[in-house]
C-alpha cells in the first residue's frame, strides 16, 4: 500500500526546518507507512520522538545534533507524512512496530532515545517492546501513566490560550517565544493551525480519552538507563509522575527543573541541555 | 416543500448568570447545581405535547435528536421519544414522518442497536421513519462517550454500511470491520420500508460530509443556527460539490434548520420572543470550539477548509441582543406574513426542499410554544408546503407512504 505524499501540504514548523536538516523518506512495510525522518548532525545515533503538538525543529534538537546524528521521525499523519496515513495505523501496537521498522530501515541496531511528552510515552513503549534496541533513554515530562489524585490535564480540550498557560511557566524563554510566533500570512496561519490541531488528533488517537494504555504494566521491561527530566511547575502532567516512571524502570534517575513547566528543554534550556548531553555520553 | 417540526428539548430554566458561572452548556454545567428531575419530567412532557400538536396540525414530520451531558437539548436517545410519537400518531391515524436526526451510530456500540431501534420505529409507525445519520458532535461522541476523535468519522461510515446491510441482507452474515466485529448477523425486526427507510445526513458545514452525501445520493441537512443569510456560502458550496459529483439540483437533496417565532405583528413577535432567543443563543449555544470538536474529530481537509474560509467563529452571538440577531436573520421572527416571506425567499435562495423549524427554543414556555405552532400551522405552513411540488420535483428521500404524488400512493 502506498500513500500519495504529494497530497500532503508542505509542513511549516515553528522554527522552519533549517538547511542542515535533511528529510529522509523511509518506506515501511508495516501499515504501508511512508515514514519521514528528519536527519541532522553527526556522532552516535539518537532517535528523537516529538510531542503531541507535532514535529518542529528547535534549539534543543540543534544541541543534540552537535554531538549526535539525530533521527527525528514524524508521527504518522503529521509533519511531512501524508495526513491520511494515520488512518492505517489502527493500534498502539501498530505504532510501536512502525518505530521498530524505522530503526530497521535506518540500519540502527541500538540507539539512544529522547522523547518529550507524548514522544516520551512512545520512547517508553519502544524501549519496553525492544529493550535490546535502546541504549539510553531520556524522558522529558512523558505522558502515559494515570493517577486519580493527579489527573493529566485534558490538553486536547483546551483553547489555544489555555493550552499555552498550561504548557509553560517561563513564557519569556527564547525558545518558547520562538514557538509562540505565528505566521502573519493568513494562508500560512491556517495551515499551521490545521497542522497543529491535526497533530493533536493523530497523537491523541493513542492516548484518548485517558492516557493510560497499559504502559504501567510494561515499564519493567525497560533495561536502558533512563534520565527522567520534569519541570517542577508542569501544570499539564504533574511532576509526581516522575517517581511513578522512575519506580518502574530499573535504572532511572530523576531531575526536577525549577522554573519550568511542561517543556523544560525550552523553558530552562541552559540547565537541561548539559544534563541530557552528559547523560547521553554516559557521564550522568 | 416538506416541513418538519423539530425539537431540541432544552432545559428551560437556567440562572441569569449561567454564562458567567459555567464555561459551557455541554459537559461543564453541573447537574448537581442546576438539574431538577421533576422539572425534567415536565419539560419532556411539554416537548412531546408540542410535537404532537404539530403532528395534528398537518406538519409533514416531527423531529428529535441526540445529545449528552448538557442543558441545550437532553434527549440522550431520540428513539425513546420517537417511540412515543410512533405510538401516539399511529393511534390517532396521523400520517406524519418521524424524522430521527438522529441516533449517533459512531457513539453506539454495537451500532446495530440503532438499526434495531430504527426498525422498531418503522414497524410501529407503519413505514413513516426518516433515518437520520448524524456524525455526532465531538463533545457528545468524544467527550461524553469517550470515542477517539480521529476515529469518529470512519466508525460512522462503517456503522452506516453495517446498518444498511443488517436491514437488507437475505442471509446470515459475519461482519469483520475495522471498528466492529459481529459473528452472525440476522437483524430482528426489519423496517417496513423496502429496501429500507430513507436516510438523511445532518451536518455542520464539513466538506467531507457533502461529498459523502453526493457520492451516495443522500440528502444533507445543514444544521445552522445562524439563519439563511449566513448559510448561503455553505449551501452554495454544497451545490457546487453536487455539480462536481454529477448530481442534479433537486431541492429535496437539501434540508435546512431554522428557529422561528410567529406572533400577530412583527413588533409583538420581537418583544415576545426576545428573551427566549437570548436564552438560546447566549446560554444554550455557549460551547467552546475545542470542546465542540476536539482535535481529530474534523478531518484535515475539512479543518483546513474551515480555517481558510473563516467559516468557524464568524457567527459570534456574544453580546448581540435579540433584535440584532433577528436583524441578522439568525432567527426568523415576525408576523405570519413576514415569516412566510422570509422562509419562502430562503427556500428559493438556498434551494432547499426540506425545512426543519424549531418552534420552541430556549426558555420559551409551553403555552407560548403551542401558540407559535398554531400560528405557524395556520398561516405559514400551507404556503411552504406548496413550494417545490412533488410532481415536478421528485422527492426520493421521504417515506413512500407519505409521498404527495399520485404515483407514490395516497396521503
For testing contact with chain A, the best of B294, B297, B309 (most A CBs within 10 A): B294
Domain residue spans of chain B: 2-402
Give pLDDT, residue A6: 33
Give pLDDT, residue B230: 86
Name the region of A214 (left: φ>0; alpha: ψ -120 to 50; beta: rest): left
Interchain CB distance below 8 Å, B295 and A209? no
Residue of B nearest to A185 (CA): B308
Say if residues A16 and A23 touch (Cβ distance below 8 Å): no
Give pLDDT, residue B302: 86
- Cell numbers linked to A79: 509533519
Give pLDDT, residue B398: 97
At residue B13, what are phi and psi to the nearest 5 degrees?
Answer: -130, 120
Q: At what angle do helices B227-244 and B207-216 cross, to 10 degrees?
A: 50
- Residues B283 and B292: their CA atoms lie apart, in Å, by 15
Restricting to B residues 284-323, those with a Cβ less than 8 Å away from any Cβ of A are 288-291, 294-298, 300-301, 303-304, 307-308
- From chain B, the residues in CB contact with A91 under 8 A are none
- From chain A, the residues in CB contact with B150 under 8 A are 86-87, 201-202, 204-205
- Cell numbers linked to B12: 428551560
- Residue A15's pLDDT band, with cuts at 50, 70 and 90, is very low
B181 touches chain A (CB under 8 A): no
- pTM higher than the cut 0.80: yes
CATH topology assigned to domain B2-402: TIM Barrel (3.20.20)
Interchain CB distance below 8 Å, B146 and A87? no
Q: How many C-beta atoms surround the C-beta of residue B309 within 10 A?
A: 15
**In chain B, which stretches have pLDDT less than 70?**
310-316, 405-411
- Residue A284's pLDDT band, with cuts at 50, 70 and 90, is low
Q: How many C-beta atoms surround the C-beta of residue A152 within 10 A?
A: 18
Say if residues B178 and A230 touch (Cβ distance below 8 Å): no
**Mean pLDDT across the stretch A234-243?**
98
Residue of A nearest to B138 (CA): A157
CA B2 to centroid of chain Cα atoms: 14
Q: From B73, B260, B105, select the one nearest B177 (Cα to Cα).
A: B105
Give pLDDT, residue A229: 99
**Mean pLDDT across the stretch A226-232?**
98
Interchain CB distance below 8 Å, B148 and A200? no
Give pLDDT, residue B315: 52
For testing contact with chain B, the best of A194, A196, A199 (most B CBs within 10 A): A194
Among candidates A77, A90, A201 on the partner chain, residue whose Cβ is nearest the Cβ of B149: A201
Residue A117 above 90 pLDDT? yes
Say if residues A114 and A138 touch (Cβ distance below 8 Å): yes
- Cell numbers linked to A180: 509562540
- From chain B, the residues in CB contact with A9 under 8 A are 304
Interchain CB distance below 8 Å, B307 and A194? yes
CA distance A81 to chain B (A): 13
B150 touches chain A (CB under 8 A): yes
Residue of B nearest to A191 (CA): B304
Residue of A nearest to B152 (CA): A205
Give pLDDT, residue B408: 42
Among candidates A77, A158, A194 on the partner chain, residue whose Cβ is nearest the Cβ of B290: A158
A-B Cβ pairs (cutoff 8 Å, strict): 69
Amino acid at each position: 500500500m502506498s500513500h500519495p505524499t504529494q497530497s500532503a501540504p508542505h509542513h511549516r514548523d515553528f522554527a522552519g526546518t533549517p538547511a542542515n536538516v535533511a528529510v529522509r523518506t523511509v518506506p515501511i512495510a508495516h501499515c504501508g507507512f511512508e515514514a519521514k525522518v528528519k536527519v541532522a548532525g553527526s556522532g552516535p545515533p539518537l532517535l528523537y520522538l516529538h510531542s503531541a503538538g507535532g514535529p518542529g525543529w528547535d534549539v534543543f534538537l540543534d544541541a543534540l545534533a552537535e554531538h549526535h546524528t539525530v533521527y527525528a521521525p514524524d508521527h504518522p499523519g503529521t509533519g511531512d507524512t501524508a495526513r491520511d496515513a494515520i488512518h492505517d495505523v489502527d493500534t498502539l501496537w501498530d505504532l510501536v512496530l512502525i518505530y521498530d521498522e524505522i530503526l530497521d530501515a535506518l540500519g540502527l541496531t541500538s540507539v539512544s532515545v529522547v522523547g518529550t511528552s507524548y514522544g516520551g510515552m512512545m520512547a517508553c513503549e519502544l524501549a519496553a517492546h525492544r529493550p535490546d534496541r535502546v541504549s539510553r533513554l531520556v524522558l522529558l515530562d512523558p505522558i502515559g501513566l494515570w493517577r486519580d489524585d493527579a489527573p493529566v490535564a485534558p490538553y486536547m480540550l483546551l483553547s489555544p490560550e489555555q493550552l499555552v498557560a498550561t504548557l509553560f511557566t517561563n513564557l519569556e524563554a527564547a525558545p518558547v517565544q520562538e514557538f509562540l510566533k505565528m505566521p502573519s500570512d493568513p494562508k500560512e496561519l491556517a495551515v499551521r493551525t490545521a497542522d497543529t490541531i491535526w497533530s493533536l488528533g493523530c497523537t491523541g488517537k493513542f492516548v484518548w480519552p485517558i492516557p493510560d494504555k497499559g504502559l504501567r504494566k510494561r515499564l519493567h521491561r525497560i533495561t536502558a538507563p533512563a534520565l527522567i527530566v520534569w519541570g517542577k511547575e508542569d501544570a499539564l502532567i504533574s511532576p509526581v509522575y516522575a517517581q511513578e516512571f522512575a519506580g518502574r524502570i530499573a535504572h532511572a534517575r530523576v531531575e526536577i527543573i525549577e522554573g519550568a513547566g511542561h517543556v523544560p528543554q525550552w523553558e530552562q534550556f541552559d540547565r537541561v541541555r548539559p544534563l541530557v548531553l552528559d547523560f547521553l555520553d554516559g557521564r550522568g | 416543500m416538506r416541513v418538519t417540526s423539530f425539537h431540541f428539548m432544552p432545559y428551560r430554566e437556567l440562572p441569569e448568570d449561567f454564562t458567567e458561572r459555567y464555561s459551557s452548556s455541554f459537559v461543564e454545567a453541573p447537574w448537581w447545581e442546576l438539574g431538577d428531575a421533576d422539572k425534567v419530567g415536565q419539560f419532556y412532557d411539554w416537548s412531546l405535547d408540542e410535537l404532537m400538536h404539530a403532528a395534528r396540525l398537518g406538519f409533514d414530520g416531527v423531529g428529535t435528536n441526540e445529545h449528552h451531558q448538557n442543558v441545550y437539548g437532553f434527549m440522550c436517545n431520540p428513539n425513546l421519544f420517537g417511540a412515543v410519537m410512533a405510538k401516539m400518531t399511529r393511534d390517532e391515524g396521523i400520517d406524519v414522518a418521524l424524522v430521527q436526526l438522529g441516533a449517533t451510530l459512531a457513539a453506539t456500540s454495537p451500532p446495530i442497536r440503532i438499526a434495531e431501534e430504527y426498525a422498531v420505529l418503522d414497524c410501529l409507525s407503519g413505514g413513516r421513519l426518516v433515518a437520520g445519520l448524524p456524525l455526532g458532535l465531538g463533545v457528545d461522541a468524544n467527550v461524553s462517550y469517550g470515542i477517539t476523535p480521529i476515529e469518529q468519522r470512519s466508525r460512522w461510515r462503517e456503522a452506516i454500511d453495517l446498518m444498511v446491510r443488517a436491514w437488507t441482507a437475505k442471509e446470515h452474515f459475519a461482519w469483520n470491520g475495522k471498528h466492529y466485529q459481529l459473528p452472525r448477523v440476522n437483524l430482528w425486526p426489519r423496517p417496513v420500508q423496502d429496501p429500507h427507510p430513507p436516510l438523511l445526513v445532518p451536518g455542520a458545514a464539513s466538506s467531507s460530509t457533502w461529498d459523502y452525501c453526493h457520492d451516495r445520493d443522500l440528502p444533507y441537512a445543514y444544521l445552522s443556527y445562524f439563519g439563511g443569510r449566513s448559510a448561503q456560502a455553505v449551501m452554495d458550496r454544497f451545490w457546487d460539490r453536487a455539480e462536481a459529483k454529477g448530481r442534479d439540483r433537486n431541492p429535496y437533496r437539501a434540508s435546512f434548520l431554522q428557529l422561528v417565532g410567529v406572533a400577530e405583528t412583527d413588533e409583538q413577535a420581537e418583544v415576545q420572543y426576545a428573551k427566549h432567543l437570548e436564552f438560546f443563543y447566549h446560554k444554550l449555544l455557549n460551547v467552546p470550539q475545542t470542546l465542540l470538536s476536539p482535535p481529530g474529530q474534523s478531518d484535515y481537509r475539512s479543518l483546513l477548509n474551515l480555517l481558510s474560509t473563516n467559516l468557524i467563529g464568524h457567527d459570534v452571538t456574544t453580546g448581540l441582543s435579540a433584535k440584532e440577531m433577528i436583524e441578522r436573520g439568525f432567527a426568523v421572527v415576525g408576523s405570519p406574513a413576514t415569516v412566510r416571506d422570509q422562509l419562502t425567499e430562503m427556500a428559493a435562495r438556498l434551494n432547499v426542499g426540506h425545512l426543519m423549524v424549531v418552534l420552541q427554543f430556549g426558555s420559551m414556555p409551553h403555552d407560548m410554544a403551542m401558540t407559535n405552532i398554531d400560528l405557524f400551522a395556520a398561516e405559514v405552513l400551507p404556503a411552504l408546503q406548496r413550494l417545490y411540488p412533488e410532481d415536478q420535483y421528485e422527492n426520493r428521500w421521504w417515506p413512500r407512504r407519505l409521498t404527495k404524488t399520485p404515483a407514490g400512493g395516497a396521503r
